[in-house]
Structure 1
Amino acid sequence: MRIDYHTHHERCGHAVGKLEEYVQQGIRKGLSQLGLSDHMPLLHVKPEEYYPEMAMPMEELPRYVEEVLQLREKYRGQIDIRLGLEGDYIEGYEEQISAIIEAYPWDYVIGSVHFLGTWDITDYRQTAGWEGKNRLEVYERYYDAVVKAAKSGFYDYIGHIDVIKRFGYIPEEDVTHLEDAALETVSAAGMAIELNASGLRMPCAEMFPGPRMLQKARELGIPVTIGSDCHQPERLEQYLPEAREALRNAGFTELLTLQRRKRVMIPF
């Protein structure tokens, strides 16, 4: 069974392609399951006062859900569509996040940390935010947010758990203790993680998480799913063969899938 659980489309503003184009591409590629998982609307900054094209407008959220459900029915028997959401964890906005998650029939919700305050550490336009900062302190802030996301109970799995390395800003100090504390919290919370293959096309040139963290997740018994994090239909399933091989090398024999937020482990 081949799956891709992390995809984005034009509604989020920084991806291209309609939802149906991703579905049709998934069929062409022979995927068994396709997770459509666009970004949650911004909650903690005013879109008109921030960087453009960051996330779908709030008024588009119900339209997104409706369209995914329509596509699920239209292509039933050809591909299994799962309704997902990449839900930012923003400390102090837990009530608003919970309201969005509870309002719709998600198959799964990805818990991702993109923001430290109003700084999106995953946005190439905001890499100047690293200037003059102590990198270790940034990593500490980031992993503290990941730990809080895992403890929140909102999410099914943590997305790109070590995405803080995306642009190659690495502290001189060892951060193994921060990475392991995050994984241990995920394990204690009964959560999962994803192996996000998009890091292979980023400056870090490594999947999220990297091999050491992936092996640690295996040792902790943390379930793993996979996603391309594609923002163009042609990148659907990009690097996922490499991701499956990395999972095999780490000792995994099953992938996590989700339906109405219930786990189904599948062999691969």
Structure 2
Amino acid sequence: MNKLDYCYHTHTYRCGHASGEDEDYVKSAIKIGIKRFGFSDHAMLPGIKQVHSRGDYSLLDDYLASTHHLKEKYKDTIAIKVGLEAEYSERFIDYYKDLLSSKAIDFLILGQHFNFDKSDNPKYIKNFRDDIEELYSYADYLIRGMRSGLFKYVAHPDLFVTMFKKWNKDCEIVSKMICEEAVKNHIPLEINIHAKKYWKDGYERLIYPCEEFWKIAGEYQVEVVAGYDAHHPSEFDNDIDFVFELIEKYQLNHLEDYTI
């Protein structure tokens, strides 16, 4: 039976589209043998309200208090880190740096769900349809994020495929851009476990994890991790065999003993 002993991609109910108590996520992770665990809810951003996408900024203190409490409570059973999944944006660089330098959080992962307009207001990637300009904008934000040194790894780097019905030359170019930058900056890319629920007949867009993307990742020998991206404690019971099938099929450089 395939298993992972780490997971640093875990949400909480505060984001508005996850559920379950914080402690139950920890208990579920322990139950399946996770040894290194990270909370990484969608970053609460000052001045930004995105109901059902991320928690309000007013929830940050409660999130930090709860997760740090669990970090201490379970320290003899599981190594817990407290982090956030965040988008790269010039507007929030100082905010991210302050969170890290103050030790409020241990880490950030780069999950670029949004591009930003000229006023730095977020625009949801999945709302774009066959938009090549926004595809390259996504790549630009992701690359700048990787170069920033703020993020430990890139969550679901192949999220952009949901913009399209069919794989195309631009998808290939962007995939190569992302993988090349990941290698240059020694930053791992994540195979996203949560997204496998979209693997079903009749889904109208391309889906991720996307085999075409991971084939390219194998060619570049980019470092690869996996993330449950759990939105409910029960999701730690999700089947992960497909992750190891991708790793074997494309000879991916999987970091089996990954530690933040």
- Identify whether the pair has TM-score above 0.5, normalized to the shorter chain: yes
- What's 2:54 paired with? 55
Of 5, 29, 33, the match for 2:32: 29
C-alpha spacing 1:37/1:93, structure 2 compared with 1 (3 Å): closer
Secondary structure of 1:101's aligned partner: helix
Task: Give the Cα separation in 2 of the matches to 1:200 and 1:5.
Answer: 18
Report how far residue 183 of structure 1 moved: 1.2
SS at match of 2:68: helix
Aligned equivalents of 1:74 and 1:97: distance in 2? 26
**Which residue is equivalent to 1:264?**
none
Name the CA distance, whole Å, in 2 between partners of 1:258 and 1:66. Answer: 23
Counterpart code for 2:247: L
Say how many residue pairs are matched: 246
Tell me the distance in 1 between the aligned counterparts of 2:168 and 2:226: 30
CA distance in 1, matches of 2:36, 2:53: 27
Q: Which moved more, 1:185-194 or 1:232-241?
A: 232-241
Describe the SS at the equivalent of 2:259: strand
Is residue 188 of structure 1 aligned with residue 184 of structure 2? Answer: yes
Given that 1:135 and 1:170 are in contact with CA atoms closer than 8 Å, whether structure 2 keeps it comes out as no
- Aligned partner letter, 1:201: K
Q: Say whether the 8 Å CA contact 1:166–1:199 is kept in structure 2.
A: no
SS of aligned partner of 1:78 = coil
Contact 1:147 1:182 in 2 (8 A): yes
**Cα 1:186–1:258 shift into 2, 3 Å:** same
Deviation of 1:150 (Å): 1.1
- Partner SS for 1:216: helix
Deviations 1:20-71 (A, max 9, x none): 011111122232232211111134x631xxx423212223323322322221
Share of identical aligned residues, percent?
A: 24
**1:224, 1:106 → 2: CA distance?**
23
TM superposition shift of 1:157? 0.9
User: Which amino acid is the alignment partner of residue 220 of structure 1?
Assistant: Y
- Identify which of 6, 10, 22 aligns with 2:13: 10
Secondary structure of the structure 2 residue equivalent to 1:37: strand
Shift of 1:256: 5.3
What SS is found at the alignment partner of 1:255? Answer: coil
For residues 163 and 183 of structure 1, what CA distance do their matches in structure 2 show? Answer: 14
Q: Is the contact between residue 156 and residue 190 of structure 2 (CA under 8 Å) also seen in structure 1?
A: yes
Note if 1:229 corresponds to 2:229. Answer: yes
Instruction: Name 2:119's counterpart in structure 1.
Output: none
* RMSD, aligned CA: 2.5
- Which 5+ residue runs of structure 2 have no aligned equivalent? 117-121
What is the one-letter code of the residue matched to 1:139?
Answer: L
Q: Secondary structure at the match of 1:93?
A: helix
- Give the equivalent residue in structure 2 for 1:79: 78
* Aligned equivalents of 2:225, 2:178: Cα separation in 1: 17
Give the Cα–Cα distance (whole angstroms) in 1 for the partners of residues 161 and 254 of structure 2: 27
Match of 1:46 in 2: 48
- 8 Å Cα contact 1:226-1:240 kept in structure 2: no
- State TM-score, norm by structure 2: 0.82
Q: 1:5 to 1:249 in 2, by over 3 A?
A: farther
Which moved further from structure 2: 73-82 or 31-40? 73-82
Q: 1:116 to 1:205 in 2, by over 3 A?
A: closer
Change (3 A) 1:244 1:66: farther
Take 1:170 and 1:95, find their aligned partners in 2: how far apart are those partners?
Answer: 38
Q: Which segment is superposed worse, 195-204 or 7-16?
A: 195-204
